[in-house]
Amino acid sequence: MRLQCMLLVSLVALSGCDLAIKNGLFACGQPSDCPSGYFCWSSDNRCYDSQEPQCEPKSCDQVIAEFAALGIPIECGSLPDGCDASIECGGCPDGTVCGANGQNFRCGCDEVTCSSFGSGAECGFIPRRCGGESEPIFCGQCLGDGLECVDNQCVCPSGESCDDQCMGRCTGEEVCVEGECCIPTYPCTDNECSPPGGLPDGCGGVAQCPPCSNQEECIFTENLVYECVDDCTCDAQNIECGSATICGTPTLCGTCDDNGFGDGYRCESGRCVCEDQFEYNDDFTSFALVCSEEAGGVNCMQDAWSVDLQATLHDGNDVDYYALEVLDSYTSIVAQLYNGFSSRALHITYLCPDGFVGMVGCSHWVDSYDGIEFCTSFDDIVSIERWCDQSASSQVGTVLVGVESREFAGACDGYGLKILATYGPSLPPF
C-alpha cells in the first residue's frame, strides 16, 4: 500500500512537469479514472491521450470468416457486428427457413407433425417436410362411422345428426345441440355484465360476464343490454335534470338540453317536462284563463267568437284545462283538436253566471268530474249548447275545456285547440 501511494505521488509530481504518460498504461472503468487530458476507451478499458475512434461495424463476410476460424459454419441469421449491434447475414432458399429444427445459423426445413400441421391434423395424410409430397405422415382416421375426414379434420357430413351419426362432434367452435351443429355467441361482447343466471349463448349454454365493481349493480337498461350502474348516480335515481342530494351528496344532474331533451323542455322537480304558455293548467284548480273581460285580448264577449291555442301534452297522465269567460247567450260552443300524435279525450262544459251547469245537447256523452258535468268525446271534436235558466246579457258565463291524453305517442306531443261559439242555439252538424 505504501509503495502504491508513493507511485501515485510520483506520477502526480511528474504530471506537473508535463511528463507524457504512456497510452494504455492505466486501466479504467469510467473517465474519472484517467489522469487529466486522458480518455477511457471502452474497447479495452484503458486510458489514452485522445478520444476513442468511432466503432466501424464489421461486414457479413468478416463476421462469417471469424466464426469459420472457430470452426462454426454460418449460413444465415443475425450476427454481432463488433459494435454492440447486429447484422443480418445470408438468406435461405425458398421453402427453407433459418434455424430449422434447432440448427442455429443453418438453412433447413422444419419437421412437420400432425399436431403442428396447420391448426392440427386429426386424420388423413400430411407432407413430412417443407410442404413436399414425399414421405407423407399418416395422422389416423376418424372414429365413428358418421364422421368423415375433410382437410385433415373429422367433420360431420351436412344433413347428418351430430348426436346420432357423429358422436356429438361438430367442426371448429360449433357444438352439438339437439342433433344440429350450432355456433355459440358470446353475449358479453355487447353486455357489460350478466344477471345471476348468466346470458344464453344461443346454443343452449350460458355465459357469465365479468361482475360489476365499485358497488355497481347489473341492470337491464333502456339500451336493451345489461350494464353496470352505480345507484348513486342521477340516472340510477331517475333524475333527469337540476340538482339533487344523492346518497347524501349534493349532485348536479345537468340541464334538459345537456341530457338530450332539446328545445321545448323545462326542468321541474328533477324531471324534464314540455314547456308551453299553459304549463300550470294540469288540474281543475288551475285552469288556464284564455280570455276574460278584465284580461282583454281575445274578445269573447260576443255572440260569435273563436280562440285558437297551441300547447303540449307531457306524458300519458297529462290533462290540460282551459277556462274562457264569455258573454252569456244562447249559442253553441264547439271545441276541436288538431295535429299531434296521441290518442286524446276532449271535455267541454258551460257554467252559467249563477255557477250552475248550463249545458244541453251534448254531442257525445256526459261525465262528471269533481261535481261538474262535462260533455266528453274520444274524437277530436265535441260540442254543446249553452242554456241557462235566466239569460242576462250583462252577465258572464264560463266555458271549461279539458284535453286528456289516452294513448301517449311520444314526449312533448304538441297539439292545436280551437274553441268557437256559433250563431244560434242549435249545434252544427258533424
Yes or no: say if 281 and 321 are a contact pair by the CB < 8 Å rule. yes
Supply the pLDDT for residue 377: 93
Q: What is the pLDDT of residues 376-425, one digit of tens each?
A: 999 899 999 888 876 555 688 899 999 988 887 766 788 899 998 876 55
Q: Which residue has the higher pLDDT, 173 or 244?
A: 244
The amino acid that residue 256 corresponds to is: C
Checking if the pLDDT of 69 tops 70, the result is: yes
Supply the pLDDT for residue 3: 38
Which residues partner with 200 through β-bridges?
206
The helix, strand and coil proportions of the chain, stated in percent and rounded to the nearest 5, come to 10, 35, 60
Long-range contacts of 118-127 (CB under 8 A, 24+ apart): 118/152, 121/152, 121/153, 122/149, 122/152, 122/153, 122/154, 123/149, 123/152, 123/153, 123/154, 124/149, 124/152, 126/152
Checking if the pLDDT of 31 tops 90, the result is: no
- Helix (H), strand (E) at residue 64: helix 60-69
Checking if the pLDDT of 92 tops 50, the result is: yes
Checking if the pLDDT of 14 tops 50, the result is: no
For the chain, the structural domain boundaries read: 60-108, 243-274, 288-422
Checking if the pLDDT of 198 tops 60, the result is: yes
- Helix (H), strand (E) at residue 343: strand 343-351
Three-state DSSP at 9 gives helix
What is the pTM (predicted TM-score) of this model? Answer: 0.41
Supply the pLDDT for residue 46: 92
- The neighbour count for residue 83, using CB atoms within 10 Å, is 12
Checking if the pLDDT of 164 tops 70, the result is: no
Q: Three cell numbers at 381?
A: 271534436
Checking if the pLDDT of 60 tops 60, the result is: yes
Name the DSSP class of 31: G
Yes or no: say if 256 and 240 are a contact pair by the CB < 8 Å rule. yes
Query: What average pLDDT does the chain have?
Result: 80
Supply the pLDDT for residue 138: 87
What confidence category does residue 348 fall into, taking pLDDT thresholds of 50, 70 and 90?
Answer: very high
Checking if the pLDDT of 4 tops 50, the result is: no
CATH number of 288-422: 2.60.120.380
What confidence category does residue 336 fall into, taking pLDDT thresholds of 50, 70 and 90?
Answer: very high
Q: What is the average pLDDT across 23-47?
A: 88
Supply the pLDDT for residue 137: 85
Give me the percent of the chain exceeding a pLDDT of 70. 83
Supply the pLDDT for residue 364: 92
Checking if the pLDDT of 1 tops 50, the result is: no
Q: What is the pLDDT of residues 136-160, one digit of tens each?
A: 888 888 876 677 888 888 877 776 6
What confidence category does residue 7 fall into, taking pLDDT thresholds of 50, 70 and 90?
Answer: very low
